[in-house]
Amino acid sequence: MNSKFFDLKKEKQDRIINGALKVFASQGYRHGSTDDIVREAGISKGLLFHYFGSKLGVYGFVYDYSARYMSLELRSMVNTKEKDLFQVMKHVESARMHAMKGYPYMQQFLNRSLAEDSYEALLAVEEKRNGLAETYAAIEGQIDYGLLPAGVDGERLRKMLDFTIKGLMTERFQDASFQPDMLYQEICGYLDMMRQIVYRE
């Protein structure tokens, strides 16, 4: 990646990043095209290749940018002293929604990258996955599943909630009027409902 990319005005940087995130989030690496990216970003293909060299260069950059950005949001917004599963998950979703206010497709792109089937794309981001994975591992490690009622499998409950949240996010992204704050409130509603069921409140 050409470091002069960061000499561009922030608004133009974000247009390019958001254009790439949207295309790769909806189409994946294999089917996402640079034509679609430049159309979304409102720039020429020559400019895109000047800064990134290739489609793979764009993909590697936006993955690295997203992983670093999301890690920073998570570290700043998740209370490291919080042990309750439901509260930790709310903090995580708050961090994700805060990131998506500037980059609406970032979390969906990161989700999609987990199922990427292109070997060259996987290879390009292999090392970059580690930082974000370590951040999530640290957050998961602070959860005290012993606080849950006897007989509740905390890890399976967390996985079920993760699937629910990813499903909601995918569904809402199909709506052109997607709003991160509204999605966050909806996710919190599901977390609160499940908490009441688990604790029989």
**Predicted pLDDT at 201:** 61
Q: How confident is the model at residue 130 (pLDDT cuts 50, 70, 90)?
A: confident
> At a CB cut-off of 8 Å and minimum separation 6, what does 83 contact?
142, 143, 144, 147
pLDDT at 199 over 70: yes
Q: Output the six-digit token pair for 8.
A: 């561009």
Q: How many percent of the chain have pLDDT more than 70?
A: 98
**Predicted pLDDT at 150:** 92
The structural domains of the chain, ordered by start, are 3-199 (1.10.357.10)
pLDDT at 103 over 80: yes
Q: How confident is the model at residue 54 (pLDDT cuts 50, 70, 90)?
A: very high
Nearest to 113 by CA among 15, 30, 176, 17: 30
Nearest-angstrom CA–CA distance, 109 and 24: 6
